[in-house]
Amino acid sequence: MYRYDTHDQTLVNERVAQFRDQMNRYLAGRLSEEEFLPLRVQNGLYVQRHAPMLRIAIPYGMLASYQLRKLGDLARDYDRGYGHFTTRTNLQLNWPKLETVPDMLAELASVEMHAIQTSGNDIRNTSSDQFAGVAEDEEVDPRPWCELIRQWSTFHPEFTYLPRKFKIAVTGSAEDRAAIQVHDVGLRLWRDAHGEVRVKVLAGGGLGRTPMIGEVVREDLPWQHLLTYLEALVRVYNQFGRRDNKFKARIKILVKALGVDEFRRRVDAEWAHLKDGPQTLTRQTVEDMQQHFVDPERRPISEAAIADYERLRSENRAFARFVTNNVHGHKVPGYKAVTLSLKRSGHSPGDLTWEQMHQVADLADEYSYGELRVTHEQNLVLSDVAVDQMEALWQRLGELGLANPTVGTLADLICCPGGDYCGLANAKSIPVAHAIQERFEDLDFLYDLGPVELNISGCMNACGHHHVGNIGILGVDKKGEEWYQISLGGAQGNEASLGKILGPSFSREMVPEVIDKVLQVYVGERIEGETFVETYRRIGLKPFKERVYA
């Protein structure tokens, strides 16, 4: 993991002191609400429906065990004993007292964490592949490049007040697990015939009120120019993005309005002033950064141990289910990456108690070299688990309620906090998630369905990524009542697509029955080996619509 140097630590400490002074002035009445708002949001502090909310940055989803323990401490000491992992791999604490936030930020700084730029019209937390550094299909480890982007974007003097928020995602694998096509900027790292890193740059993706798939702006940017090209791209957006209408202020609107060719031309014209300038990356800079992300000293795993693991998998059905769904391939033989499910009936998706945070931190120390990852599907990952310890880890996870063998199934749904917390939400999301989990909890049925992504958002801001769910659910306000709009056919990954609205919205009580009817059409129409989204793309929306509204 990246470790702070003296400069990093000083910067974060000074930011805490600065915000403490701002908070004191606000509480004393020397700063108005209007003056305080832009100061607090750039430190991750919102005022939600019922209480303040602090959003803590987890850069590109990486956490050390001691950092997770600190998050548990904050949830216990300053909140109501739990935290919520979001689709941007951040952690939100939903009930802190306003006056305690500077103390919370100081505690975060003590473990090399912060809440800087987790809100506001600036460059937000960069996200990436949860299996970065260990994935079997990885061409380039994206983590050093994500850290370079984080350092470039944090406190960038030009980009503090962009037209709207700005999100970057990076992947270096054949399979896109970072959803780069639906970000303001998506970066795909690859190697040319000479082994040199190149960057495919997409711009203009995003969800929210006007969802769009990103356009390719550059196919083969040399790695040396990554930061200068990003500088040019964001500068064009900063200059030409709309500021008169916040609903049309995202870069996706600018790219659409100009057309990708004209947008590319403007970026290239701006880049001409920056190319080969002082922000050009050197090989030494990149190599120094890569030294922060070296592999742990993994002990070798014998062929006999691997054989024992496979035998246990064949003999123990419950263990086999866990392995099939929650355990993922690893670049090193004898090791696996393990997803810890934060989805179980009766619990809000993405939530973890302070006790569980401490216990998972212990598991990371014992089984994964003190490191874990947060996924944008709102789960956690232990990235380096030896197969001869898998059974023991599985049993420990079962005791903690984190071994649900449902990752990638309908039960592994994504859900924003919705109207239970968020002041922007039109409807509640969590009760809908609970109702669906209760309706479809039979494992045999879930496995028969195969991979189905179901995403729930409480409003058009799409924090639950409903547009790219195979089944998407959007809360809408209908004359003061909560209703839910269903969309089908969305997908993330290499073949990303946006879902299409099924038809008129439904009351909350009707949603599980509607989902059941949608699944019945899929089961009846699919051909062998076909996933839900593949069936949808073959037969279209009409059969689903006819069944649901019959």
Mean pLDDT of 379-384: 98
Residue 225 and residue 280 in one domain: yes
Q: What is residue 345's predicted lDDT score, i.e. its pLDDT?
A: 84
Together in a domain, 73 and 154:
no
184 and 250 assigned to the same domain: yes
Structural contact between residues 291 and 241, judged by C-beta atoms closer than 8 angstroms: no
Q: How far is CA 477 from CA 350, 473, 474, in A?
A: 25, 13, 10
Q: Which helix (H) or strand (E) holds 84?
A: strand 82-85
**Could you tell me if 166 and 239 lie in one domain?**
yes
Domain end call among 400, 428, 463:
400
**Per-residue pLDDT band at 424 (split at 50, 70, 90):** confident
Average pLDDT score, the chain: 97
Domain count, the chain: 4
Q: Do 73 and 174 sit in the same domain of this protein?
A: no
Task: Check if the beta carbon of residue 173 is closer than 8 Å to that of residue 422.
Answer: no
Tell me the residue length of the chain.
550
What does the pLDDT read at residue 521? 98
Looking up residue 429, the CATH number of its domain turns out to be: 3.30.413.10
CB atoms within 10 A of CB 514: 22
pLDDT, residue 380, reads 98
Sign of CA dihedral 277, 258, 245, 92: negative
In a domain, 284, yes or no: yes
Q: Is position 406 within any domain?
A: no
**pLDDT at site 346:** 83
CA end-to-end span of the chain: 54
Query: Does position 112 have pLDDT exceeding 90, yes or no?
Result: yes
Q: Distance (Å, rounded) from C-alpha 184 to C-alpha 241? A: 12
199 and 286 fall within a common domain: yes
Percent of the chain with pLDDT over 90: 98
CB 19 within 8 A of CB 105: yes
Residue 127 falls within a domain, yes or no?
no
Residue 423 clears pLDDT 90, i.e. is over it = no
Look at residue 387 and tell me if it is in a domain.
yes
Give the whole-angstrom CA distance, residue 225 versus residue 217.
14
Place of tokens 């080969």: 276
308 and 366 in a common domain: yes
In a domain, 307, yes or no: yes
Question: At 457, is the secondary structure helix, strand, or coil?
Answer: strand
Are residues 188 and 101 both part of a single domain? no
Q: Is the pLDDT of residue 103 over 90?
A: yes
Q: Are residues 420 and 496 in the same domain?
A: yes
Considering the domain architecture, whether residues 448 and 476 belong to the same structural domain is answered as yes
The identity of residue 364, as a single letter, is A
The 10s digit of each residue's pLDDT in 250-304 is 999 999 999 999 999 999 999 999 999 999 999 999 999 999 999 999 999 999 9
Range of the domain at 41: 6-110
CATH of the domain at 90: 3.90.480.20
Sign of the alpha-carbon torsion through 57, 128, 498, 543:
negative
Please write the tens of the pLDDT for every residue from 313-364: 999 999 999 999 999 999 999 999 999 999 988 889 999 999 999 999 999 9
Q: Is residue 117 included in any domain, yes or no?
A: no
Q: Which of 262, 291, 320 is the last residue of a domain?
A: 291
* Structural tokens at position 13: 């400490």
Q: Is 124 contained in some domain?
A: no
Beta bridge partners of 93: 54
| Residues 280 and 150 reside in one and the same domain | yes
Domain final residue pick, 369, 400, 431: 400
Is there a single domain that holds both residue 469 and residue 377? Answer: no
Is residue 228 a part of any domain in this protein?
A: yes
The answer, yes or no, to whether residue 484 has pLDDT greater than 90, is yes
Mean pLDDT of 485-507: 97
Percent of the chain whose pLDDT exceeds 70:
100
The pLDDT assigned to 14 comes to: 98
